[in-house]
């Protein structure tokens, strides 16, 4: 693995998969009507899985290896159609990358930092409850 650019490429591919999947979801899913939820198409799962395992293989022995578990956690959640649980590990990866950059463990250009911000924003927009029509969602009782 060369550097932060490859990690960001992997995150970008996963964000794209999550966007595609979330765009196909109805705004409200009644689990009584669909007990198993709405799962991504098998082809989408294969693409997501290939991205995660390519990252795992490339990052072995590098400083980025510690991020692999988060990518796998995201994949497992994506496979079951659990959108929120697929997003959270990717946000954690972005947190780690920013901390690693701040602590000078990795070098990240201003362009890399901008990509991290864009991916974080994109993930937040995908998250359930981010829609204006759902104002107040997720704020507890």
Least confident of 14-18, 52-56, 58-62, 117-121: 58-62
28 against 87, higher pLDDT: 87
Q: Confidence class of residue 39 from pLDDT cuts 50, 70 and 90?
A: confident
pLDDT band at 6 (very low <50, low <70, confident <90, very high): very high
Q: Is the dihedral of CA 31, 18, 23, 44 positive or negative?
A: negative
Calpha distance 23→30 (Å, rounded): 17
Please give the residue that has the higher pLDDT: either 30 or 23: 23
pLDDT attached to residue 2? 62
Over residues 74-90, mean pLDDT: 94
What pLDDT is attached to residue 27? 67
Stretch among 11-15, 45-49, 61-65, 117-121 having the lowest mean pLDDT? 61-65
Residue 76's contacts (CB-CB under 8 Å, 6 or more residues apart) are none
Does position 53 have pLDDT exceeding 90, yes or no? yes
Q: Three-state DSSP class for 7?
A: helix
C-alpha 130/C-alpha 136 separation (Å) is 10
The pLDDT of residue 38 is 77
CB 98 within 8 A of CB 116: yes
pLDDT band at 10; cut points 50, 70, 90: very high
């Amino acid at each position: 693995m060369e550097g932060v650019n490859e990690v960001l490429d992997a995150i970008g591919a996963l964000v794209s998969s999550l966007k595609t999947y979330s765009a196909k979801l109805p705004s409200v899913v009644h689990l009584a009507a669909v007990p198993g939820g709405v799962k991504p198409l098998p082809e989408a799962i294969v693409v997501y899985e290939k991205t995660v395992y390519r990252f795992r293989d490339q990052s072995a022995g590098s400083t980025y290896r510690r991020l692999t578990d988060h990518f796998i956690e995201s994949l497992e959640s994506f496979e079951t159609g659990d959108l929120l649980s697929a997003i959270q590990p990717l946000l954690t990866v972005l947190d780690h990358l920013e901390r690693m950059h701040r602590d000078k463990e990795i070098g990240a250009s201003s362009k890399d930092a901008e990509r991290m911000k864009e991916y974080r924003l994109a993930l937040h927009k995908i998250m359930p409850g981010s829609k204006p029509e759902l104002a107040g969602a997720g704020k507890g009782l």
